[in-house]
Amino acid sequence: MTNLEDLEEGGEVLPSNKIALIDADTIAYAAASTSEYCEDMLDDSMYLPEELKELKESEGYWEPDNAIWTTDVEAAITKALGSVEELIAETDTYSAELYFTTGRNFRFDVYDMYKANRVVLRYPLGLKEIKEALLDHYPGMI
């Protein structure tokens, strides 16, 4: 499918001259979330105190679950890149610029109830690496 802004040269339809501007936080989060899994539900009675301490200090430990989470970062990056490519194809654009937020943003200062209804969630593992990989492939910024 082409749009009115497509260019024709020698009977060949060239790609659109548009760029998709993408708020890519959801893409990275979804890819990270669907690429992680619970490696171990800890039963404290099964470990020596030193072992348990080491497990609970690991990157993937989440206290509310008392579990160790892990992720396949490469699979998550592949999913995220595929999602961006799908958006480029669906929007009939030739490329994309990706934008991410991190930490506190101006919206919290404008409206103090911004995201107030969200419960405390564990961010999926690999999220930072996925954002960095996406920015290695597409222009944009965090």
- pTM, whole model, 2 decimals? 0.75
| Closest CA relative to residue 27, chosen from 97, 94, 92, 93 | 97
Predicted local distance difference test score (pLDDT) of residue 23 = 93
More confident residue, 5 or 115: 115
Query: Per-residue confidence at 58, pLDDT binned at 50, 70, 90?
Result: confident
Q: What is the pLDDT of residues 4-45, one digit of tens each?
A: 444 455 555 556 688 999 999 999 999 999 999 988 888 888
* SS3 assignment, position 67: strand
Count of C-beta atoms within a 10 Å radius of residue 126:
24
Mean pLDDT of 99-109: 79
Measure the CA–CA gap between 86 and 80, rounded to whole angstroms: 10
Scanning 61-126, the segments in alpha helix (DSSP H) are: 73-90, 106-110
Mean pLDDT of 82-99: 93
More confident residue, 58 or 13: 58
What separation in angstroms does the CA of 113 have from each of 26, 28, 65, 103? Answer: 21, 25, 27, 16
Domains of the chain: 1-35+72-142 (3.40.50.1010), 37-71 (no CATH)
Mean pLDDT of 97-105: 84
